[in-house]
Structure formats: structure tokens, C-alpha cells
Structure 1
Amino acid sequence: MARDLRVSVRSVQRWRQMWDEGGPRALRSQGQASLPRLSEKQLAQLEAELANGPAAHGWEDQRWTLSRVKTVIGDGHRRIGFLGDSQVVYSGAERFRGYWAAHEAAGLQPDERYIRRGLTDVAAARQAALALLSGPDAPTALFCTNNRMTHGAIRAVHTMGGPVGLAGFDDFELSDVLGLPLTIVSYDADEIGRRAARMLLDRIDSRGTGEPWTARRTVVPTRIIRYGTAGAS
């Protein structure tokens, strides 16, 4: 749960204790901890910018998805399944938006029959992929929002035995020896950790200067890896 909500395990443990002691009422919001610093006009501007989506501002997550799904469509696939994690996870939600936008950009209407969201682990992804691949007009490719979804999809493809294109995020060991048509968005996880730690230390150091802390955005380079062949059968 902590992973899906992107909070600390301690927070989840505290919420559980509050539930045990006071039931659902104990988890009700107590309101804002402080007054908003933005004016009504600024809030309206913020809402308008958020409505444009991250791709309009160069946010890489949705753009990566848009590019990957466009590649799959370009390989000849028209029935593309979607295997996604919890809808409350920001990256998963944005990758779904990219999946949808790529279809629209190609003049295709995404088919709700091929979409599975809220999957939490490899086993759930495998079951969802099996259901998709065994149905009528089964998808010829699957898009996976993280490596757990990809692992589940690979197990399903192995069980079914048919040629299915796979595309997703996060490279993993032995992906190059599977012999499957697999396209992966890969990045340096160690570099993400280094940059996050550097930003945290910089923020800690800034507290003694009296200077206000300003938000900082950093983009870690990615690379596209294509294993096997990805054309539609």
C-alpha cells in the first residue's frame, strides 16, 4: 500500500493504528494545515495549466509512453492491450494518458476491452494478460506500465505460446535472452537516486541561508531498447 500511494511505511502504519482505534471517522480529513499561498487568480491559472496535461509542458513520462505506443502502432499493431498499476500512482496514470493519446494521434479509438488497470503485482498482471490474450479479437501487442506488469505479460505470453509484441517501462535482467518482441524504456536508476539525494541535501543546506527554497526539475536521460522483432502477426 505504501508503494502504491507513494508514502512511507510509517504513514501507513499510523493510519492503520488510527483506524483500529477510531474506525473510519478517525481517518477523515481535518482540513488544510495552513492557508493556501496562491490567490484565486493564481489557482485558476494553475488549474488551467494542469488541465493541459504534462505533455504540454515537456513532462517526459507521458511523452515516453506516447512515443512507445506510437512505435508499436507503427509496427502494424492495431489491437494493443494495456496493463497498468493502481490509478492513484501518478506515473501509472500519466502512462495511461500517453497510451490513449497515441491511439488518438494515429486516428485509432482505444478499445476499453483491452484495458486492465489497478493491477498490483506480477500474478495479477499475468491473469489480466491471459484473459486478454484468450478472448475474441485478442490484442496483438501489450503495453505495460512497469516491469511487474511486463513480467506478468511475459508469463502469459509464454503460457499462450502465440506471437505478441510487448512494450513497457523498466529494463530487467535476462530481457535480452527471452526471444520475445520486447521494447523497453530504460533509465539509470542509480542516477535517479544520486540526483534525488543531491536535491535533498541542497534543500537541507538551504535552511541555514534564509533563502526561500524553489522547486527544481531534473530529467534523467532514457534510452529505448528493442529486443527481438516487434511487427504484428
Structure 2
Amino acid sequence: MSRHLPWLLDERPDAAFPPAETALRDPDGLLALGGDLSPVRLLNAYAGGVFPWFSEGQPLLWWSPDPRMVFRTEGVRLSSRFRRTLRNSHWTLRADTRFREVMDACAASPRPGQDGTWITRDMVEAYVALHAMGHAHSVEVYDGDTLVGGIYGVAIGRMFFGESMFSAVSGGSKVALAGLAYRLRDWGWPLIDAQVENDHLLRMGAEHWPRERFLEVVRRQVREPGLAGSWEAAFGAVPAHVVAG
């Protein structure tokens, strides 16, 4: 695999990534290896439609699959039955109140077909650093003071790149995603990157986009004025029944 891929140099975190169009077809989207998880490299990666995804003991692997899974912010779907349940729910959504805990919960959540987690300790520390810079954000779902679900990702300009979500109570992750989309739609952000396909995301309205179309939107959106710093105040407290519609 490494004979066909460029290695990124640790001493050049600001170096440009190879064009996403040069990624491998098998495995789909693998673009480069190596480098580090410094903030400047991560922000360069996301702005170019690239994300890190690797397991403990592997070199850093960087991906840009084709097609790409995305959500239009007006296109996240909840089932009719679940929406009816939420109309009587006391859950509340907030943002950037417990970022590290959301990451830790995502790392601890079992994933079908996966042994262990790709959210390593180094990954947690790297995204906590981005969070401190105002580029990584979480949405939390609360039942009283109890965290029942959440999602986190990276924001550049007016583009949100979703990373992972979790449920401590059934439906928690669905509400977190729907709440994120609800607020981003209010702010005029059109798209959430969902990276790679899974059946759960498809049932919630995720779409396959050709990589070329995805990159065109990303390159435009990352240049738009975003929302600097913590999102806690701007996001506010959103009752789950509002998200349900």
C-alpha cells in the first residue's frame, strides 16, 4: 500500500495535501500516510476534503472517499414514530458544554463490525486542541443534567465536518445530529460531511455525492465567514420537541 501513496513529513505540518482526486480506488479514498495531528495539518486536511482515520498501531491514514456521504442541513430525517416520542420529551440540546466527554463517549461506543476504536488518545487530544481554538465543536443532548447523546466535528468557515456521535440512551445520537442540522440551517450552513456510508446514516437522510461535487462545495464554504470561538451562547438551549418539528 505505501508504495503507491505519499508519506507526509512530520516537520512539514503546513505542507499541502496531495489532491484528493489522486486517492486510491482500493481501498476507496486512501490518499496519504504519516504526518501528525497538529492543528494546522488537521485544518488543511478538512479544508481540502480530507480526514484522518486509522487504528491504534497503524500509521496515520488520510482519506477522501468517492462518493462522499453528506447531509444537507434541511435533509436530516427522523422517523414519524420517533418525532412523536420527542414531542413529549424533556431532553434539551446545547453545544460545546462537554466536548471531551462527548469524544470519550464516542470512543467507548461499540461499532458494528469494528474491534476497538479509531478515536485514540492522540486523536482526543488533537481535537480538544482544535476545540480550544474554536474549530471543533460538540452538540450535547441532556436529560436534566445527564448526558444522553452527542456529536462532534470540525467547523471551517460555514462547513461542518462530522466526526462521530454516540447514544447513552436510545435515540440520543439521532437527536444530536438533528439538533446540529437544525441550528446550522438557521445559521445558513448548507452541509454536514458524514464521510463514509453506513445504513444508519442513510436512514436518516444521508446522500451519496460524487467527490468532485463535494469538494466544490467545501472549497466555497470554507471561505465563508463562520462562527468563531465557543458555540455555547449562539447555539443556546434547544428543546428536543423543537428539533422534532
TM-score by length of 1: 0.25
| Greater percentage in helix | 1
Highest RCO, 1 vs 2 (Cα 8 Å, sep ≥ 6):
2
Which structure shows the bigger proportion of residues in strand conformation?
2
Structure whose CA Rg is larger: 1
**TM-score calculated relative to the size of structure 2:** 0.24
